[in-house]
Structure 1
Amino acid sequence: MKKMVAALLCSLPLAWSLAAPEVYERDPDHTFAWFEFNHLGYSMQRDRFDKVDATVTLDLENQVGNVEVAIDVQSVSTGSRMFDRVLRSETFFDANKFPQITFKSTRLSFGKFDDVTSVEGILTVKGISRPLTLTVTHFKCMMHPMLRKPACGLNATGKVSRSDFNLGRFVPLIGDEITLHVSMEALKR
């Protein structure tokens, strides 16, 4: 009996280390992406996408994970119906032909407190894929106080050149550099 208990106790750390990664799905009310750019030197304009789908897989103990994001291009929101139509048109995003913008991580970097510090991956816009590193400016996982289930949240930012994605119309009058921002809250499946 003692040998069986000893064997069981020895196998617990192995079973713990083989635990499945946790999968989190985005909370649609608290997940969105926005972008900002220089408009004719007058101001920094900020526009957003209202429909963002995301799944995050995390194994904090082993410091590995995966992020997959799909953005509905039709959900672009500038505050102006006319500009929304222009951005959805063939001139810019060509939403009918390319209805989604996607991001798939290739590597997550972790800090000393099991916090995610950056997400490297591939951003695809209009069928064109380019590497993108998002710097995570905030990351937290804990029990959701109202829903009583595990949840994680993050804010991240990165920069791209819109001309790299065949979106360079009016450069240099309208800035080529785009700063991307993501706010996401996700609940454990």
Structure 2
Amino acid sequence: MKKLVAILLCCLTLSPVMAVDIYDRDPDHTFAFFEFNHLGFSLQRERFDKVDATVTLDLPNQTGSVDVTIDVRSISTGSALFNQVLMSDSFFDAEKFPVVTFKSTKLTFGKFDDVTSVDGNLTIKGITQPLTLTVTNYKCGMHPMLRKQTCGLNATGKIRRSEFNLGRFAPLISDQITLHVAMEALKR
């Protein structure tokens, strides 16, 4: 019996400790964009400048989570007037709903421990709908300047703005919106 306990203790001390890694967004390299067709004349792309995100990765077990909060008042269209229109109660209603959130429910991993998609729930104006973000670029490694473990990705997904009570002027302005996320996150 003593031999069995000794062997078990030895195995436990030699087993690698699997840690969950937590990453916080790099504010200078994390943005959310949305793209829509404007009257058939052009595709317009607008962005939010203040995006807060926390990513948790457990690569050995291929699990993780993503939690994102977007400050609606940080919308940046290049036009102060259009910013105000989008923040008004006709669209995002920033006074009443100052944040947009995304909380993942599942991360899908590829064969090289790369994240290929993120399923979750997007909440805009108090309305929550499922959203799948397809990851188009993913990389984790040592940041060459900051000397910190860093993960980055680009992801895209589609929503219907009418499902979030943002459908004003549809179909003249496309109901379907393409979301784009560019994120870099630094390990805590």
TM-score if structure 1 supplies the norm length?
Answer: 0.94
Residue pairs, 1:30-179, within 5 angstroms: 30-179=29-178
- Counterparts of 1:123 and 1:53, CA distance in 2: 14
For structure 2, which runs of at least 5 residues remain unmatched after alignment? Answer: none
How far the C-alpha of 1:33 sits from its partner, in A, is 0.4
- Counterparts of 1:172 and 1:148, CA distance in 2: 48
Which secondary structure state, in structure 2, belongs to the residue aligned with residue 87 of structure 1? helix
Which secondary structure state, in structure 2, belongs to the residue aligned with residue 175 of structure 1? coil
Q: Output the amino acid matched with 1:87.
A: L
Deviations 1:159-180 (A, max 9, x none): 0000000000000100000000
- Counterparts of 2:121 and 2:10, CA distance in 1: 43
- Counterparts of 1:6 and 1:76, CA distance in 2: 60
Deviations 1:38-88 (A, max 9, x none): 000000000000000000000011000000000000000111111000000
Taking a change above 3 Å as real, the CA distance of residues 139 and 6 of structure 1, as seen in their structure-2 partners, is same
TM-score if structure 2 supplies the norm length?
Answer: 0.95
**Off by >4 Å, runs of 4+ in structure 1:** 2-9, 12-15
Deviations 1:3-40 (A, max 9, x none): 88854552256453xx2310000000000000000000
Taking a change above 3 Å as real, the CA distance of residues 13 and 122 of structure 1, as seen in their structure-2 partners, is farther
Q: Does 1:10 align with 2:11?
A: yes
Which secondary structure state, in structure 1, belongs to the residue aligned with residue 61 of structure 2? coil
